[in-house]
Chains A and B, each alone.
Chain A
Amino acid sequence: MDTLQHLTDGLVAALGWQNLVFALIGCVLGTLIGVLPGLGPAAGTAILIPLTFRLDPTGGLIMLSAIYYGAMYGGTITSVLINVPGEAASVVTCFDGYQMARQGRGGTALGIAAIGSFVGGMVATLALVVVAPPLARVALSFGPPEFFALMLVGLGLVTSLAGRSLLAGLAMAVLGLLIAMVGIDPVRGAPRFTFGIPSLYDGLGFIPVVMGLFGVAEILLTLESPTRQLVATKFTALLPSREEWRRSVGAISRGTGIGFVLGLIPGIGAIIPTFTAYVVEKRLSKTPEKFGQGAIEGVAAPETANNAYANAAMIPLLTLGIPSSPTIAVLMGAFIINGLTPGPFLFQERPDLVWTVIASFFLGNALLLILNLPLVGLWARLLHLPHQYVSVGTLLFCVLGAYSLQQNVFDIAVMIVCGIIGYGMRKIDLPIAPLVLGLILGPFIEKSLRTSLEMSGGDFSIFFTRPLCVALLVIGALILVASALRLAPAEVREARDAN
């Protein structure tokens, strides 16, 4: 009953004209980010944070959330029309979406993607409403040791699923945690790694680091392959035919379930739900040979799963304070900039804000559908924009965003250095996600570790005498062991298989 009342209040607040405008602007900007090449959702969300500096926290978070799921949808357009996924989660959509566009059915592909995204997003948000409050209540009983273990599990999940080497993922997570140590020690107030530079006393800004690692690095990479081939397609038939509807209904239902369930697990990332949904559809199909040739289920299922995942991934953030992906980490950064710490206490301290933001997800998903069906042609035309203008525009917003956070040019320098580092990491395929997650979770992990040890007088057994903490640590260890086996060098795998 409480939940229903909160949700109703949230809906009333979200339906206020100001919040509606913020959601609308967010959806448009998010889709634009998704459409424009060289701008992923993490970088796009980060560079648009300055837009929200002077908004009230609720409006700002509504806009950023809308940017996030708008970007997740926008990536679909490039997947279908130019066979280039706007973001990693849209890779699978290329398989059949691009083929549909080549057959002159690009409009239908984008239409079913919009409808599937709408259904997946709405159902996942509804499930969020049901699941989040009890989960937050459970999390309220956690002490510092449990939070420490929980955050280790979250970080471990992200690390274990990133890149080609578990060790590299772990090293990047450790590097992220270490970078988070720069600045004033949150417990004792002593400066660390500041080297007498006043700008470092507040630590390295999360936003400049993310803008560098994602924004600047992506632009540098785009310069190496700037040409794209756009498929000419008609947008007269956006809605699927009766037969296509029949084939899509099951795919959309299953995609919703898969996306939602996998979205609850921190670190899964958006690629796994979309691939899983695609593989499941192919397995269940009576005509699997049509997959990869323009099967509408091959677009409907992953796109639905993608948006269901995107909305469900807000649950670990809002209830436990654990970001599931770099983009969610950017959103978490936006919460923190606004003086709010995502997690169970937020439901207690600012229920008005949390429920308004959650209610805005419903509106945002509806706005995306209303916007994207009629505007598909316009988005497609944006793909003709020469890459130079997109790249320079992105860099302009990077400078603006990095500077305006603290009105400090030092942050621009941080962004440039991180851009070069991010470019290098992307070139040699070192995973960036664990670094970003380590960076944002670092202060929380350190604080909960040190508070736990203060509680026990420096005795580490506190982590092994509390049942929930032990359970979480065991889960974390199992994840890392499973990942180590999955990513083991070839000869170890061969020996294991031989045995």
Chain B
Amino acid sequence: MRRGWQVGCVCLLGVFAGALITSLSYSLSDNLGPGPGFFPFWLSVTGLALTGAILVQVTSGRLLADAPSDLWPGRQAALQGLAVIVALAAAAVLLEPLGFRLTLLPFVAGLLVALGARSWIAIALCAVGGSFGVFHVFYYWLMVPLPIGAFGI
């Protein structure tokens, strides 16, 4: 876990440093008082100081001395997690060109298979219900605008 915190701190330092540099391009004050850069600047400075202090504590062993060391998921969980991220990313890319129904149909079916479902009837029912059924409820009944793709579906 200590390594995880160190990596996390380095990432945070990067975020705060980037925010600090960016905030310098906004005015810190103007004739009405504090400018748009005032709050982000001081937040970035504070964030950098806090994260630096945490990194020192973690590296010197004053924090997380009793924390578990192994945090990595098993192979199967890692692959399934990857499948979830890939499926979500694919949904984000295809949602508007293909429409909600045609995107979510393979999204639900594929993810169910990837996560270990084996009943094809249940998978098919969930995929149809999760795409066409959910679309019908939200689009027609709840009137939530959802994308209709190039094929008119």
Residues of A at the B interface (CB closer than 8 Å) are 50-51, 53-54, 164-165, 167-168, 170-171, 174-175, 177-178, 181, 185, 187-188, 190, 192-193, 216, 219-220, 223-224, 386-389, 391-393, 395-396, 398-400, 403-404, 407, 409, 412-413, 415-416, 419-420, 423-425, 427-430, 446, 449-450, 453-454, 457-458, 489-491
Contacts and interface: CB of A to CB of B under 8 A. Distances in A.
Contacts of B91: 399, 412
B1 A224 contact: no
Given A187-B36, A386-B117, A407-B145, A223 B84 contact: yes
B10 interface: no
B12 A224 contact: no
Nearest to A487: B63
A399 B104 contact: yes
Q: Could you tell me the dominant secondary structure of chain A's interface residues?
A: helix
Nearest to B50: A171
A174 B87 contact: no
Interface of B: 1, 4-5, 8, 12, 15-16, 19, 22-23, 26, 29-30, 32-40, 43-44, 46-47, 50-51, 53-54, 57, 62-65, 67, 71, 73-74, 77, 80-81, 84-85, 87-89, 91-93, 95-96, 100, 104, 107-108, 111-112, 115-117, 122, 126, 130, 134, 138, 142-147
7 contacts: A171-B51, A188-B35, A223-B77, A400-B134, A413-B92, A419-B88, A428-B71
Nearest to B9: A171
A266 to B, nearest CB: 21
Given A178-B43, A427-B4, A428-B8, 19 more contacts: A164-B64, A167-B54, A171-B12, A174-B50, A177-B43, A178-B16, A193-B19, A216-B84, A224-B77, A388-B112, A389-B112, A391-B111, A393-B130, A396-B130, A400-B100, A427-B71, A428-B1, A428-B4, A490-B65
A223 B95 contact: no
A174 B47 contact: yes
Contact of A388 (B22, B40, B89, B117): B117
A307 B32 CA distance: 47
A192 to B, nearest CB: 6
Contacts of A174: 16, 43, 46-47, 50
A388 B85 contact: no
B81 to A, nearest CB: 5
A429 B84 contact: no
Contacts of A392: 108, 111-112, 115, 126, 130
A3 to B, nearest CB: 35
B88 A399 contact: yes
Contact of A165 (B22, B57, B117, B142): B57
Contact of B54 (A168, A420, A449, A490): A168
A190 B26 contact: yes
A384 to B, nearest CB: 13
A426 to B, nearest CB: 10
A223 B81 contact: yes
Nearest to A447: B39
A455 to B, nearest CB: 8
Nearest to A398: B88
> Max chain A CB contacts within 10 Å: which of B23, B33, B81?
B33
B73 A409 contact: no
Contacts of B34: 449-450, 453-454, 458
A53 B1 contact: no
A419 B143 CA distance: 28
Given A220-B84, A413-B92, A404 B15 contact: no
Contacts of B73: 223-224
